[in-house]
């Protein structure tokens, strides 16, 4: 039987004799048959010369490739004509605008395609699992508009939608879509899908300027997408906020081409003097004011309006174009919660004080607020290019841009913070920014006929740049810009020409660099194609519509009133009578269970159900049935309520049970729970759909180590899924089948009463795609923006889907992420059995814990089968410090550590993991850059969404702040540590890492050793002691393991003697106290501490931990240990391991050197030390604000708990740069340092305790 490669070789001969007339592409049909195969195959063969690779300037190699398409099997693959080797087996190809074919490969970690390994087709899988009703083309969501109060409700949305559809042409479509795609990262999955639908339609409009698809059809699609999106408050708010990117009247090329007409409109007296015409006509028909035309009339008008309307108001900002004096001119405001590059402070200064004085004010503002001038100018240029150039000077801005691009092209690691506004994107700069640069330069030089005849057509070319497979079009336009445009538009002024041409040169260099980087992105994306397609199809087929707010609130109130009753519905064995999964209740036993409840517990239920037990049982039955149908199960309601602060949760329950659900506080909290319940219901639907898609066909034969779903067959013939298990073996003598469950324990199932199905890891595939999204950020966005790679036509669809899939969060995906780590740990790719060693190869042997030696294996070598052998040395890791940096280092490094066969340990000096939160919490506010965002998004999953992604109708997230245009997020350290502690604890519970609280570990970088206090030693610690393996003193260090800590014996009440002193553990005091037993009468014991002035009275039932008196015993431990047992790691002279005991008190205050072996140590505690021998991952002095005035600044900025905007029209039109008093933030604000320093000087100089401050500063 002929295989596929035989056909490929035969098909290659079709093109071997004659070269095609078109060297780029030619198509032939061929019929190929073999003697051994009776079937004759018919193929369509497409010969494709890789023109992009032929261009040596992009670092490519000249290749000729062949695309083969089997029409019968509907499969295509890609071959190299020289070797006829198969390059891709996936039926996924991309066709660019010129007809070129680009292969997309899809390889999993085991180098097998996802579809091949699991014998499935994604299209068929979703078709079989999803009904036609669920398989929708457009994403549907709740209509959140009808529930809102405000001006017009839906009227303005309809007007806005009609306006956008009317003005949308290819130029507007491409600009609008690029602005919207930035916002996808900070939306919930269904909201990201709504925005994605609009972007897809806009791409169809922009990529089809010649209207091959009818204009009416494209407008209709856009109308549908906008209609559905505007029903969602958050998405509608984003659409309105980014509508400024749309040209509603004239595009820039039209303004330049019709410059004489525009000049006429701007100089006609009637149109420039009569209000209200003078307010609006100039903004439409005139050019932006420059140094030649300062716009005195607009300056005067806006100054008057600003004074009349008042500063800090939305209406002032809207009418005066953002010229509000509180932004830049309020000397009383020490700090404002506004990012400097988003306030428009440059334009405001210029508008308020004129050009010359305004620029001086800008420079003063930057100095006072410690803003790096060039970086701030670059970021301001991205947001508003014309005003930035006019306000700061054209020459200065051109030089800053040229220097910035040259720096990023030259520095190997690019932009340290991955600041979105500083990352490079050549196509976007050429398409959106260069036209405004050229207009500004022409305006400064003075308009002429050359502008309308030459400059305007060139600007049209720039605005019509479409995504392609390479940067050829961009290079051609850069060449034309450099040779024919720059000199003329700059008027021959060398100070403008030189930086402009240098900037153009750096854009060419960037084009070469991004082509190299593109190949890496293609490799990453093509390896997770199945995950991208699975996640995208999953999101498109899930029902995102949930009940309305009023229904939610009624369900929550009813849940609270019935919760006490439902908890008591148990039989005499303690088993629940409620089957929540099926929504049923055993009514026969429920009545007797309720008889035992007191009247206070059953009271709230009686008020809504009636006055009898039978009525309550009937009401509970109906409630369970209704919840089963609507999806608002008690489990989901409890999960939503648990997301509240504990105090708020208790307060709500108390209000509802006492009948006060109509007061304002109860309504507020119940609405908040309803918002969280919507999120939980959508996650539950995602979980159910993933669970359904993961169920494969019934397995006739099972393969060892593969995963299968086990269903139990019930007596009535139905089946109940028990979960997924890893197959081990089938007993030949019995019907038992042996599996390993997710926790690593063994389970046996009877084949006669169980059904085994193939497990399709849909969740794991989606998680791998989400990880790829993180990897692209960490490895490839140091220079270029994510959007820069989306400018390639062969990558845009996949990257847009990947960006959307990254926002899908549910508990099934969290579980899949953990399961992947468990699988990696149990299947180490580096460890090898001693039986499988091959002669002549190098291996590592573990001679001691965490110590490995390299050796070359030879035939007949005597091996110790008790030792472990590795292909490469395991990478063990210790992270010292459980703060944000240490926790993220642990989360991010764990997978690679486990993959190499190593272990991960986290040493935390505080007690956070013992008490589910540290005794001392840090409330500093931190800003996290894009790398942190991507890592936290992947590693935290649903926890990230809970904290940073705004819920339904929320302006910003509940605990953090997001800055999408810059790629930053903000949060207080204590809140961030809380969620990271929770995720690390999950990993700890799966035995994926080890955590040591109260570790007292420290790294001495000078001696290059890790030390630990004796009172913090724990079992399994390896320490170096000057004792040899025989237990005798030695001058050299030897390794010993802590095998046991023997504590003091606790005393019972019968051992007590009045008048004697004891060590008593007090939970309130947090340690051991020395106390005297005063009396012990009739089982009541009175202890008194003279030092603490404390008296404790206890009984036998609540008797504390009491120990024999030891004057040295103290601390936070429940009991000071009596002795510590060490065991030697090396054998003694008798061939055994030596053990000896040491008094714990003698070593508890000593510093012990830890034997970490070949372990990588990450010291994430405090400032990095200045050392040349170790790697430092952060600067010694991080940029930030820290002073004794900080709390006053924060109190003046943040009014926690207040809503930012009300519901209604103003909430949809509000600016993103409004003063925000609700969102947590630190460096979104502008801090004027001069008043702070003056106040600090006054505090430390004039107060009576100034000497104390001097002492404090001298020793810190």
Kindly report, residue by residue over 259-280, the tens digit of the pLDDT.
777 766 665 554 444 455 444 4
List CB contacts of 293: < 8 A, sequence separation 6 or more: 287, 443
Can you tell me the distance from the alpha carbon of 1152 to that of 1009, in angstroms, rounded to the nearest whole number? 10
3-class DSSP state of 422: coil
Is the pLDDT confidence value at 96 over 50?
no
User: What pLDDT is recorded for position 849?
Assistant: 84
Please give the radius of gyration of the chain, using alpha carbons only, rounded to the nearest integer: 35
Report which of residues 76 and 1075 the model is more confident about. 1075
Is the pLDDT confidence value at 369 over 50?
yes
Max Cα-Cα span within the chain? 112
Highest mean pLDDT among 68-77, 319-328, 430-439, 737-746: 430-439
Provide the 8-state DSSP code for 60.
-
Mean pLDDT of 389-416: 85
Best CA proximity match to 641, nearest among 633, 649, 653, 650: 649
Is the pLDDT confidence value at 1080 over 50?
yes
Report which of residues 527 and 1049 the model is more confident about. 527
Is the pLDDT confidence value at 294 over 60?
no
Can you tell me the distance from the alpha carbon of 195 to that of 1174, in angstroms, rounded to the nearest whole number? 46
Report which of residues 130 and 808 the model is more confident about. 808
Is the pLDDT confidence value at 105 over 70?
no
Mean pLDDT of the chain, nearest integer = 76
Give the confidence band of 743 by pLDDT, cuts at 50, 70, 90. Answer: confident
Angle at 982 between CA 977 and CA 986, to 5 degrees: 145
- Interhelix angle 664-693/549-568, rounded to 10 degrees, is 80
User: What pLDDT is recorded for position 1187?
Assistant: 40
744: left (phi over 0), alpha (psi -120 to 50) or beta: left
Mean pLDDT of 105-109: 33
Is the pLDDT confidence value at 363 over 80?
no
User: What pLDDT is recorded for position 69?
Assistant: 54
Report which of residues 141 and 748 the model is more confident about. 748
Can you tell me the distance from the alpha carbon of 302 to that of 782, in angstroms, rounded to the nearest whole number? 42
Report which of residues 484 and 1187 the model is more confident about. 484
Q: Which residues pair with 584 in a beta bridge?
A: 579
Provide the 8-state DSSP code for 1127.
E
Q: How deeply is 649 buried, as exposed, middle or buried, from its count of CB atoms within 10 A (0-12, 13-18, 19+)?
A: middle
Give the confidence band of 460 by pLDDT, cuts at 50, 70, 90. Answer: very high
Give the confidence band of 212 by pLDDT, cuts at 50, 70, 90. Answer: confident
User: What pLDDT is recorded for position 149?
Assistant: 52
Q: What's phi and psi for 1157, nearest 5 deg? A: 60, -140
> Taking a C-beta distance cutoff of 8 angstroms, is the pair 46, 69 a contact?
yes
List CB contacts of 588: < 8 A, sequence separation 6 or more: none
User: What pLDDT is recorded for position 116?
Assistant: 55
pLDDT tens for residues 348-362? 666 667 667 777 777
Lowest mean pLDDT among 309-323, 876-890, 1098-1112: 309-323
User: What pLDDT is recorded for position 922?
Assistant: 63
Q: What's phi and psi for 744, nearest 5 deg? A: 95, 0
Give the confidence band of 19 by pLDDT, cuts at 50, 70, 90. Answer: very low
> Taking a C-beta distance cutoff of 8 angstroms, is the pair 783, 423 a contact?
yes
Mean pLDDT of 288-302: 52
Can you tell me the distance from the alpha carbon of 1057 to that of 1079, in angstroms, rounded to the nearest whole number? 9
Best CA proximity match to 651, nearest among 638, 663, 666: 666
Place of tokens 């420290």: 1002
Best CA proximity match to 125, nearest among 464, 538, 499, 526: 538
Report which of residues 26 and 447 the model is more confident about. 447
Give the confidence band of 327 by pLDDT, cuts at 50, 70, 90. Answer: very low
1025: left (phi over 0), alpha (psi -120 to 50) or beta: beta
Best CA proximity match to 685, nearest among 617, 745, 631: 631
Provide the 8-state DSSP code for 243.
G
Q: What's phi and psi for 1143, nearest 5 deg? A: -60, 130
Provide the 8-state DSSP code for 747.
E
- For the chain, the distance separating the N- and C-terminal CA atoms, rounded to the nearest angstrom, is 81
Lowest mean pLDDT among 87-91, 478-482, 576-580, 1151-1155: 87-91
User: What pLDDT is recorded for position 429?
Assistant: 95
Q: How deeply is 109 buried, as exposed, middle or buried, from its count of CB atoms within 10 A (0-12, 13-18, 19+)?
A: exposed
Question: What's the pTM?
Answer: 0.79
Place of tokens 């929550």: 556
Question: What is the torsion angle, in degrees rounded to the nearest 10, for the CA atoms of residue 1151, residue 1156, residue 1159 and residue 1163?
Answer: -10
Mean pLDDT of 475-481: 95
Whether the CA torsion 185, 186, 188, 193 is positive or negative: it is negative
User: What pLDDT is recorded for position 926?
Assistant: 76
Give the confidence band of 121 by pLDDT, cuts at 50, 70, 90. Answer: low
Is the pLDDT confidence value at 862 over 70?
yes
Angle at 287 between CA 284 and CA 293, to 5 degrees: 130
User: What pLDDT is recorded for position 1250?
Assistant: 65
Lowest mean pLDDT among 33-47, 91-105, 728-742, 746-760: 91-105
Is the pLDDT confidence value at 1193 over 50?
no
Give the confidence band of 580 by pLDDT, cuts at 50, 70, 90. Answer: confident
Give the confidence band of 244 by pLDDT, cuts at 50, 70, 90. Answer: confident
Is the pLDDT confidence value at 155 over 60?
yes
Lowest mean pLDDT among 351-365, 1003-1017, 1145-1159, 1232-1246: 1232-1246
Can you tell me the distance from the alpha carbon of 165 to that of 248, in angstroms, rounded to the nearest whole number? 11
Q: Which two tokens stand for residue 699?
A: 């397995």
Q: How deeply is 631 buried, as exposed, middle or buried, from its count of CB atoms within 10 A (0-12, 13-18, 19+)?
A: middle
Q: Which residues pair with 1079 in a beta bridge?
A: 1086
Q: What are the contacts of 586-591 at 24+ separation with CB within 8 A?
A: 587/617, 587/618, 587/621, 590/617, 590/620, 591/617
Give the confidence band of 66 by pLDDT, cuts at 50, 70, 90. Answer: low
Mean pLDDT of 845-866: 87
Is the pLDDT confidence value at 1189 over 60?
no
Mean pLDDT of 965-983: 83
Cis peptide before 62 (omega within 30 of 0): no
Is the pLDDT confidence value at 749 over 70?
yes
Can you tell me the distance from the alpha carbon of 574 to that of 564, in angstroms, rounded to the nearest whole number? 15
Best CA proximity match to 435, nearest among 248, 242, 251: 251
User: What pLDDT is recorded for position 527?
Assistant: 87
User: What pLDDT is recorded for position 475?
Assistant: 94
Can you tell me the distance from the alpha carbon of 690 to that of 630, in angstroms, rounded to the nearest whole number? 19
Q: What are the contacts of 1031-1037 at 24+ separation with CB within 8 A?
A: 1031/1128, 1031/1132, 1031/1138, 1031/1140, 1037/1153
pLDDT tens for residues 885-907? 889 999 999 998 998 889 999 98
Mean pLDDT of 1249-1260: 61
Give the confidence band of 953 by pLDDT, cuts at 50, 70, 90. Answer: confident
User: What pLDDT is recorded for position 463?
Assistant: 92
Report which of residues 1207 and 315 the model is more confident about. 315
Report the percent of the chain where pLDDT is more than 90: 22
């Amino acid at each position: 039987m002929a295989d596929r490669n035989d056909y490929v070789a035969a098909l290659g001969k079709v093109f071997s004799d004659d070269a095609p007339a078109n060297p780029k592409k030619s198509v032939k049909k061929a019929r190929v048959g073999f003697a051994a195969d009776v079937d004759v195959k018919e193929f369509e063969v497409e010969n494709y010369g890789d023109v992009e690779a032929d261009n040596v300037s992009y670092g490519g190699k000249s290749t000729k490739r062949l695309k083969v398409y089997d029409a019968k099997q509907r499969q295509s693959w890609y071959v190299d004509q020289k070797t006829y080797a198969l390059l891709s087996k996936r039926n996924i190809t991309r066709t660019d605008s010129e007809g070129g074919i680009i292969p997309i490969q899809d390889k999993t970690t085991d180098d097998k395609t996802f579809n091949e390994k699991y014998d499935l087709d994604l299209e068929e899988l979703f078709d079989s699992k999803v009904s036609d009703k669920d398989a929708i083309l457009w994403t549907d969501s709740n209509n959140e508009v009808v529930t809102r109060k405000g001006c017009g409700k839906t009227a303005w949305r309809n007007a806005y939608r009609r306006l956008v559809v009317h003005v949308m042409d290819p130029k507007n479509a491409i600009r609008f879509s690029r602005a919207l795609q930035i916002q996808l990262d900070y939306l919930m999955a269904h909201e990201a899908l709504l925005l994605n639908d609009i972007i897809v339609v806009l791409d169809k409009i922009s990529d089809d300027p010649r209207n091959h698809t009818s204009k009416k059809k494209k407008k209709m699609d856009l109308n549908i997408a906008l209609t559905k999106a505007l029903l969602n408050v958050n998405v509608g708010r984003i659409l309105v906020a980014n509508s400024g990117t749309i040209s509603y009247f004239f595009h820039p090329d039209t303004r330049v081409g019709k410059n004489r007409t525009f000049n006429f409109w701007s100089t006609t007296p009637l149109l420039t003097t009569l209000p209200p015409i003078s307010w609006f006509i100039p903004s439409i028909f005139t050019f932006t004011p420059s140094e030649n035309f300062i716009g005195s009339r607009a300056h005067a008008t806006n100054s008057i309006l600003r004074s009349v309307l008042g500063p800090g108001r939305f209406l002032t900002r809207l009418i005066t174009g953002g010229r509000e004096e509180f932004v830049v001119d309020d000397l009383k405001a020490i700090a404002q919660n506004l990012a400097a590059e988003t306030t428009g402070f440059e334009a405001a200064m210029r508008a308020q004080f004129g050009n010359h004085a305004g620029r001086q004010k800008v420079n003063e503002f930057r100095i006072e607020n410690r803003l790096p001038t060039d970086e701030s100018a670059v970021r301001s240029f991205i947001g508003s290019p014309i005003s930035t150039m006019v306000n700061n000077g054209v020459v200065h801005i051109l030089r800053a841009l040229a220097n910035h691009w040259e720096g990023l092209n030259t520095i190997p690691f690019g932009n340290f913070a991955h600041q979105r506004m500083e990352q490079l994107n050549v196509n976007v700069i050429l398409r959106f920014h260069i036209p405004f640069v050229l207009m500004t330069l022409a305006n400064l030089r003075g308009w002429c006929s050359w502008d309308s005849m030459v400059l305007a057509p060139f600007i049209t070319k720039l605005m019509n740049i479409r995504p392609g497979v390479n940067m050829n079009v961009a290079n051609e336009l850069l060449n034309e810009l450099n040779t024919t445009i720059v000199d003329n538009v700059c008027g021959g002024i060398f100070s403008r020409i030189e930086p402009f041409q240098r900037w153009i040169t750096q854009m060419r260099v960037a084009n070469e660099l991004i082509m190299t980087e593109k190949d890496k992105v293609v490799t990453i994306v093509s390896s997770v194609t199945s995950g991208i397609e699975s996640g995208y199809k999953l999101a498109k087929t899930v029902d995102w519509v949930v009940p309305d707010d009023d229904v939610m609130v009624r369900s929550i109130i009813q849940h609270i009133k019935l919760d006490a009753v439902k908890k008591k519905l148990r039989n005499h064995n303690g088993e629940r009578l409620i089957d929540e999964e099926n929504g049923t209740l055993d009514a026969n036993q429920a009545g007797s269970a309720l008889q035992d409840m007191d009247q206070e517990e059953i009271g709230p239920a009686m008020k809504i159900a009636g006055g009898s037990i039978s009525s309550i049982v009937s009401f509970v039955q109906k409630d369970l049935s209704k919840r089963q149908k609507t999806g608002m199960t008690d489990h989901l309601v409890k999960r939503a309520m648990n997301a509240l602060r504990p105090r708020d949760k208790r307060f709500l329950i108390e209000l509802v049970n006492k009948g006060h659900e109509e007061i304002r506080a109860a309504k507020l909290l119940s609405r908040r729970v309803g918002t969280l319940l919507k999120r939980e219901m959508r996650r539950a639907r995602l979980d159910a759909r993933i669970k359904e898609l993961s169920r494969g066909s019934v397995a006739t034969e099972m393969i060892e180590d593969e995963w299968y779903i086990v269903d139990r067959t019930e007596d009535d013939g139905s089946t109940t899924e028990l979960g997924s298990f890893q197959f081990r073996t089938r007993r030949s003598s019995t019907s038992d089948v042996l599996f390993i469950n997710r926790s690593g324990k063994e389970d046996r199932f009877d084949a006669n009463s169980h059904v085994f199905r193939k497990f399709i890891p849909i969740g794991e595939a989606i998680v791998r795609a989400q990880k790829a999204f993180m990897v692209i950020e960490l490895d490839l966005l140091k220079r270029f923006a994510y959007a820069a790679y989306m400018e390639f036509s062969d990558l845009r669809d996949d990257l847009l889907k990947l960006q959307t899939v990254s926002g899908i969060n549910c508990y099934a995906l969290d579980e899949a992420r953990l399961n992947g780590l468990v699988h990696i740990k149990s299947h180490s790719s580096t460890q090898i059995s001693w039986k499988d060693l091959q002669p002549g190869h190098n291996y590592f042997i573990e001679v001691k814990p965490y110590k490995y030696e390299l050796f070359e294996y030879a035939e007949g070598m005597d091996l110790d089968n008790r030792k472990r052998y590795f292909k490469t040395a395991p990478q063990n890791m210790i992270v010292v410090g459980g703060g944000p940096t240490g926790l993220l280092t642990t989360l991010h490094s764990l997978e690679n550590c486990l993959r190499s066969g190593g272990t991960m340990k986290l040493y935390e000096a505080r007690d956070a993991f013992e008490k589910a939160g540290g005794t001392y919490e840090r409330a500093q506010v931190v800003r996290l850059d894009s790398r942190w965002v991507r890592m936290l998004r992947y590693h935290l999953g649903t926890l990230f969404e809970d904290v940073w992604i705004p819920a339904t109708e929320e302006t910003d997230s509940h605990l953090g702040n997001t800055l999408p245009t810059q790629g930053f997020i903000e949060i207080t350290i204590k809140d961030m540590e809380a969620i990271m502690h929770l995720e690390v604890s999950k990993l700890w519970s799966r035995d994926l890492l080890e955590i040591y609280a109260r570790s007292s570990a420290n790294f001495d970088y000078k001696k290059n050793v890790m030390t630990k206090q004796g009172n913090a030693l724990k079992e399994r610690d390896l320490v170096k002691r000057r004792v040899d393996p025989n237990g005798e003193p030695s001058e050299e260090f030897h390794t010993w393991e802590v095998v046991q800590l023997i504590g003091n014996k606790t005393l019972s009440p019968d051992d007590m003697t009045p008048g004697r002193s004891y060590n008593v553990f007090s939970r309130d005091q947090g340690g051991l106290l020395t106390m005297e037993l005063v009396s012990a009468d009739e089982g009541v014991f009175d202890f008194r501490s003279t030092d603490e002035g404390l008296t404790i009275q206890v009984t036998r039932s609540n008797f504390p931990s009491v120990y024999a008196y030891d004057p040295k015993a103290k601390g936070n431990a429940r009991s000071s240990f009596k002795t510590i047992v060490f065991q030697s790691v090396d054998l003694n002279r008798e061939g055994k391991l030596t053990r000896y005991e040491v008094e714990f008190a003698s070593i508890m205050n000593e510093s012990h050197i830890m034997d970490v072996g070949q372990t990588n140590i990450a010291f994430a505690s405090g400032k990095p030390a200045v050392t040349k021998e170790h790697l430092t991952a952060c600067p010694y002095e991080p940029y930030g604000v820290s002073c004794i005035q900080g709390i006053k600044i924060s109190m003046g900025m943040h009014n926690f708990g207040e809503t930012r905007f009300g519901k209604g029209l103003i909430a949809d039109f509000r600016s993103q740069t409004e003063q925000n008093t609700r969102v947590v933030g630190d460096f979104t604000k502008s801090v004027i340092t001069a008043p702070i320093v003056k106040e600090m000087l006054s505090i430390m100089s004039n107060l009576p305790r100034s000497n104390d401050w001097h002492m404090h500063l001298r020793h810190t």
